[in-house]
Amino acid sequence: MDKIWSILVVDDEPANLQLMRAILADFYRTIFAKNGEQAIEAARRHQPDLILLDIMMPGLDGFEVCRRLKSDPALVAIPVIFVTAMGELDDEARGFEIGAIDYIVKPASPAIVRARVRTHISLVDQNAVLDRLGLAGEYKDNETGAHVRRIGRYSEVMARRLGWSQAACQAACQAIGRASPMHDIGKIAIPDRVLLKPGKLDEEEWSIMRTHAERGAAIIGGNVTGLMQMAARIASSHHEKWDGTGYPGGFAGDSIPIEGRIVAVADVYDALMSRRPYKEPWPQAKVVDYIVEQSDRHFDPEMVTLVLSAMDEFGSIRAELPD
């Protein structure tokens, strides 16, 4: 039986709530709240798949509601779309910065509302698939689940510093945070004798290990949706090197997808900072020296600059998500 997706609609105007009910109720389970406090309570009780949130409301406005939702670990993953009058669009950048994923402008046509909701519900569905794939990878690999979650957080930090946090690119910034933890999903196809070997791999074992990049892209598949395509690009390209000596394609420079270039340096940073069966964690100063040394060789120099500028944020992420 197909899942019935739930939408929480928040607006202080009863007429707007009735309009949204008429637009959505035939397709989704709809939940309604008339103010910010009710919205937060309803989100906690019902755990909706998506929230349509008015901005201008008495008491808590939409921005404050969104901020509180995104500061609650139990609610942070619920996507928020602001529904706003045309005159409020000057504040759209503020909304994206606090975690909204989209805007719908009032008065919105039924076709536009349904299309936007359908698009973001499909992303929620993809996120669930990626989460399950990530869990499968954690069962197989000797790296921890915290490692792959940290890669997602590092990658999103780097994307924001790259400028992806501008309003038009906010969705891409959030997407790389979701997609990058799948970078090593291809390792589930690597034999345990190679993947779990406690010592160094010989050449034959390395040739097997290197296939995980292409296998990861194949596992994720050629899905037509943007998030899954990004995940596949990351899986296939995060071991490419700026100077062309990486694998599997031997691509160099800007021919490597930018997502792959971001994850390449984030992955190496975290691996060197972490304990593994074959190594002790490196001190951060040594990790930084190595990353700088590999600028223009292994890593895109621009990505190295981003990592160096984000050391404090990376440290906070590691403290939040320890092994």
Residue the block writes with tokens 């694998």: 247
Q: What is the mean pLDDT of residues 164-179?
A: 70
Per-residue pLDDT at 269 exceeds 80: yes
121-161 pLDDT tens trace: 877 767 666 766 766 666 666 555 688 889 999 999 999 88
Q: What are the percentages of helix, strand and coil residues in the chain, rounded to 5?
A: 60, 10, 30
CA–CA separation, 86 and 291 (whole Å) = 47
In this structure, are residues 299 and 246 in contact, taking their beta carbons and an 8 Å threshold? no
Per DSSP, 248 falls in state S
Q: What is the mean pLDDT of residues 275-283?
A: 84
- C-alpha count within 13 angstroms, C-beta hemisphere, residue 181: 26
Amino acid making up residue 34: K
pLDDT-derived band at 171 (thresholds 50, 70, 90) equals: low
What is the reported pLDDT for 122? 76
What is the reported pLDDT for 168? 47
DSSP symbols for 145-205: HHHHHHHHHHHHHHHIIIIITSGGGHHHHHHHHHHGGGTTGGGGGS-HHHHT-SS---HHH
Looking at domain 6-121, its CATH architecture is: 3-Layer(aba) Sandwich (3.40)
Mean pLDDT of the chain: 87
Residue with the larger pLDDT of the pair 306 and 103: 306
CA–CA separation, 58 and 12 (whole Å) = 8
What is the reported pLDDT for 94? 75
Answer whether 6-121 and 143-320 agree in fold: no
Q: What is the mean pLDDT of residues 204-232?
A: 86
Q: What is the mean pLDDT of residues 257-273?
A: 96
Query: Of the ranges 59-73, 89-103, 239-253, which one carries the lowest mean pLDDT score?
Result: 89-103
Domain boundaries, given as residue ranges, for the chain: 6-121, 143-320
182-208 pLDDT tens trace: 899 898 889 989 988 878 889 999 999
Query: Of the ranges 89-93, 219-223, 252-256, 272-276, which one carries the lowest mean pLDDT score?
Result: 89-93
Q: Quick one: what percent of the chain has pLDDT higher than 70?
A: 87
Q: What is the pTM of this model?
A: 0.68
Sheet holding 50-54, edge to edge: 29-33, 6-10, 50-54, 80-85, 102-106
pLDDT-derived band at 227 (thresholds 50, 70, 90) equals: confident
Q: What is the mean pLDDT of residues 51-77?
A: 89
143-320: CATH homologous superfamily?
Hypothetical protein af1432 (1.10.3210.10)
pLDDT-derived band at 27 (thresholds 50, 70, 90) equals: very high
Per-residue pLDDT at 163 exceeds 80: no
85-129 pLDDT tens trace: 755 556 666 777 787 888 888 888 899 999 989 888 877 767 666
Q: How many CB atoms lie within 10 A of CB 2?
A: 4
